[in-house]
């Protein structure tokens, strides 16, 4: 490998990385993550949403309890959980 190609290769990689990161930033900057849809989010006539206990098919004990608790907390936080 010639001595002059190494700095050129390094600069070329940095340029490619900068272009890739800039492109990804531009692509994903317009994407927003929302847990609730815009507006009311519920169909007409639906006033509450109930969350049952989730099942656990993993080897991690009590994972369903943890997941159910956090899921219900999030529903309560956005004000859409019924007491059923």
Each residue of 42-77: pLDDT tens digit? 667 777 778 888 899 989 899 999 999 998 888 777
Average pLDDT of the residues of the chain: 74
Residues 11 and 41 both lie in one domain: no
Residues 61 and 22 both lie in one domain: no
Q: Count Cβ neighbours within 10 Å for each residue of 71-84 and write b for 16 or more, e otherwise.
A: eeeebeeeebbeee
Residues 43 and 82 both lie in one domain: yes
Residues 73 and 55 both lie in one domain: yes
Look at the chain and report how many structural domains it folds into. 2
Q: Which residue range forms the structural domain that includes residue 8? A: 1-33
Residues 45 and 71 both lie in one domain: yes
Per the CB < 8 A criterion, the answer to whether 63 and 56 are in contact is yes
Q: Please tell me whether the overall predicted TM-score, pTM, comes out greater than 0.75 for this model.
A: no
Residues 67 and 82 both lie in one domain: yes
Residues 43 and 76 both lie in one domain: yes
Rounded CA gap, 47 and 82, in Å? 8
- The single-letter DSSP state of residue 54 is P
Residues 50 and 78 both lie in one domain: yes
Tokens of 5: 């190609």
């Amino acid at each position: 490998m010639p001595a002059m190609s190494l700095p050129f290769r390094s600069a070329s990689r940095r340029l490619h990385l900068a272009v890739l990161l800039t492109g990804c930033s531009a692509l994903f900057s317009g994407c927003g993550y929302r847990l609730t849809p815009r507006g009311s989010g519920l169909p007409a006539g639906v006033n509450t949403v109930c969350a049952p206990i989730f099942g656990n098919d993993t080897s991690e004990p009590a994972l369903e309890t943890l997941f159910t608790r956090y899921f219900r907390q999030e529903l309560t936080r956005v004000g859409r959980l019924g007491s059923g």
